[in-house]
Chains A and B, each alone.
Chain A
């Protein structure tokens, strides 16, 4: 019961945070003077293209860019009616991309799900790699296992992602015939889902997952190792040994459970780090994620597109922290009962 209450409370704070983030995002994007359309109008005037000016003026009114900033914000989020009634993000209208001259929803549509897919794969990769390596390194600390894991970890941390990407592409293609670039075979683009498309996407995912996840996995592994080493010297481990517990079971049941907390708490941080870290990788690898769009939108002050992408990343982050908070409550009774009178 308490858990449900906590979940509701946590969800409420998440929504509030999201509102605050939206305000920050909007005002920061609008900090530089001017906007995409007024820049364009100025340019068109200079070159004397009158009909283009008319279209731009129309868009300015259509998207309320002629109104004060705070009104623009309310209309954008959907708190206040715009020229065409309520049509903000809350209502599902993400606005118009001036740069690409298409609705934002159409542009990012596919990219959104591919972004989630790529990053979830990378997070999964981080955990799957870091967990066994970290535990092993701690359990066999100061032996060759530990040193090897540590060396690989630092190598992963120190190698620039795009370099890793190029190397992997070359050798992946040479020896395993892995595809280069993109997230699916070009022939599947714009096609409905099919078994062939899924297979193609999975095949294309291998290298990006590895590239985006490596440094995260290396950092996570080092953290887990340090946490485990701390826990291994605690008296309750000795108690468990004195009970006659075998080493492997002991490790899994006691210190690993304890070292798991920071591991879980990191989910929230991992997501945004990956999304922003993967922008450059996506450009290099030619992945159809929202990364490249974000880059383009920010450069040209395409405010609705940029705003939407940033809000999407913020949402991922907040969902990540919420999930990790809830997991912590489930995992650790001290947090669950922490404030209860004993």
Chain B
């Protein structure tokens, strides 16, 4: 069988620098899915973009060829004129991108944007084009295709936008679909459904797929063949079954070891005692008023409802949920950045046996002390460090604000903290841009540690990082927690990340906690359909354990559509009940 696409010794570089894609060769078979795996900077995105020739302007194609066979006569895509190339883009080869939020124009209706492909490549009347697009919309899972046709992208959720992108890529029935990290920006349950959709469409239409990803779990669920890239070179390739069951190259093995997984659990763990609590959230509800401007009535949005959480001293409490579940609001309330609605309170116990300190009713002196004892690590290490401050200034600033020590003391402390997080104190004079994403996150952690806090609130500290770096940061956080006797409130959307670091997990959905238990109990005996969906949706790097889409769909839907026992009546949720010691589930009795 001849390959549909054959990339041969492709080399791409910028300016006079050494190539960033170096002699890459692989081929894609018709009707098959090839996964291009690698971390950021591996050259995987440039490689797949060179197929469509939509590289950044400064990039130079230095050598190599990309042969595309398909239904027409075989051509070398790199040798085509720009005009000939345009005829292939969107028609015979199409592409979907990572960020569905930003990859669609916010000013044009979806129907317009999708039908544009047909207007460009097919000699189709307006009515016929619309009919074809509506069929596609229905096929990718829009319940009301007419409405989708009229909608603007910002009126839809991320998952729906990605479906619209897929419809756009599929509407001209391409022979090859290039998907560049199509699900990285999506929640895990949405990811499962979108991956399922791409798979079904592929088998229906017989097109081939190049799937660019960093997630071996996604590879196991999708790919027939795998190409692993590192630093611009192919380090390993072969069938998915071979590569995943016995990775030959050290880099692939490293990726495997770092991939977060939900462990197989033989027996549940004991309930976590709540006798020595550092932070206590009591009946926290937070309602936001959305001002609509002008003459419209403001609307009330409840971000989180009736949340009771206790962080035990020296332990990690993880709050898991998808975007919009209210987990970040909880963290902000816990830190005192938001005030809970009347009736709720947050108590802080600085030391064992101390009198409780209400986080939202402190005097200025108490507040200053609380801010020293409770610090935060943010999600995005690129924007949480000022690009104009040297590392030393960024690290000593918190101590300056609180008037701690002399200049020399502060410097020593900063150096010590750098050593703690595995960085060299020699780096103190540098600016953040000289550091990689993982190193920057280490810097943020070091900065949070300079005040000797007792409680660290981590808001998705690893979700902007590569898998192997994520693994290192999690190790570091665990090590520091034990070394400095810290307590963590850990916010995440990823159950597998939480699995290793948490002592207790609270799963949130639609502003309420739906299930809470120690992680092992949760994985051994998940009760709530949403928890089950989260666990099922986690892609495992094991080709024999595909995602159970049905289970995902059942739990990830609207709370009013859950099984009788767990169903919400409108926004009225059932009670959170303790079904066994330390295991709470929101269900009807």
Query: Which A residues contact B (CB, under 8 angstroms)?
Result: 5-6, 9, 234-236, 238-246, 253-254, 257-258, 331-334, 337-342
Contacts and interface: CB of A to CB of B under 8 A. Distances in A.
Please name the 5 residue pairs, one residue from A and one from B, whose CB atoms are nearest each other, closest first: A244-B89, A243-B90, A244-B90, A339-B292, A242-B95
Nearest to B86: A244
Contacts of A240: 105
Interface string B96-121: 01110011111110000000110011
Given A236-B104, A334-B152, A341-B299, 7 more contacts: A239-B103, A240-B105, A242-B90, A242-B95, A244-B120, A337-B152, A339-B296
B178 to A, nearest CB: 8
Contacts of A341: 299
B106 A339 contact: no
A324 B99 CA distance: 32
A243 B116 CA distance: 8
A245 B154 contact: no
Nearest to A13: B294
Contacts of A342: 154-156
A254 B117 CA distance: 14
Contacts of A331: 107
Nearest to B104: A236
Given A236-B103, A258-B105, A341-B299, A243 B97 contact: no
Given A238-B54, A337-B155, A339-B292, A244 B102 contact: no
B139 interface: no
Contact of B89 (A234, A236, A243): A243
Size range of the chain B interface in the assembly: 35 or more
A257 B105 CA distance: 10
A235 B294 contact: no
23 contacts: A235-B98, A235-B99, A235-B102, A236-B104, A239-B103, A239-B104, A241-B52, A241-B54, A242-B52, A243-B89, A243-B116, A243-B168, A244-B117, A245-B90, A254-B108, A257-B108, A331-B107, A332-B107, A333-B154, A334-B106, A338-B293, A339-B293, A342-B155
B26 to A, nearest CB: 21
B65 interface: no
B94 interface: yes
A99 B154 CA distance: 59
Given A235-B97, A239-B103, A342-B156, A244 B295 contact: no
A235 B108 CA distance: 15
Contacts of B291: 339
Contacts of A239: 95, 97, 103-105, 165, 168
B106 A333 contact: yes
B504 interface: no
A259 to B, nearest CB: 11
Contacts of A245: 86, 90, 116, 120
Contacts of B225: none
B507 to A, nearest CB: 25
B571 interface: no
A241 B120 CA distance: 12
Contacts of B104: 236, 239
A245 B294 CA distance: 39
Interface in B105-158: 105-108, 116-117, 120-121, 152, 154-156
A260 B540 CA distance: 46
Contacts, number: 90
Contacts of A257: 105, 107-108
A103 to B, nearest CB: 40
A54 to B, nearest CB: 55
B103 A5 contact: no
Given A242-B95, A244-B88, A342-B156, A9 B103 contact: no
Contacts of B105: 236, 239-240, 254, 257-258
A333 B152 contact: yes
B294 A6 contact: yes
A249 to B, nearest CB: 9
A242 B54 CA distance: 7
B129 to A, nearest CB: 14
B39 interface: no
A331 B105 CA distance: 13
B294 A258 contact: no
A234 B117 CA distance: 19
Contacts of B165: 239
Contacts of A243: 89-90, 94, 116-117, 120, 168
Nearest to B101: A235
A236 B168 CA distance: 13
B91 interface: yes
A261 to B, nearest CB: 9
Interface string B211-248: 00000000000000000000000000000000000000
Nearest to B298: A339
A238 B107 CA distance: 16
A332 B107 CA distance: 6
Nearest to B160: A342
Contacts of A332: 107
Nearest to A237: B105
A238 B94 CA distance: 12
Contacts of B106: 236, 258, 333-334
A339 B290 contact: yes
B96 to A, nearest CB: 9
B407 interface: no
A160 to B, nearest CB: 37
Contacts of B299: 341
B152 A242 contact: no
Interface string B419-455: 0000000000000000000000000000000000000
A81 B294 CA distance: 34
A339 B292 CA distance: 5
A236 B291 CA distance: 29
B87 interface: yes
Contact of A235 (B103, B107, B168): B103
Interface string B39-58: 00000000000001010000
A292 B242 CA distance: 86
Interface string B291-318: 1111110010000000000000000000
Contacts of B98: 235
A24 to B, nearest CB: 25
A334 B295 CA distance: 18
A236 B102 contact: yes
A333 B107 contact: yes
A342 B91 CA distance: 32
A86 to B, nearest CB: 32
Contacts of B95: 239, 242
Contacts of B154: 333-334, 337, 342
B293 A241 contact: no
A258 B52 CA distance: 25
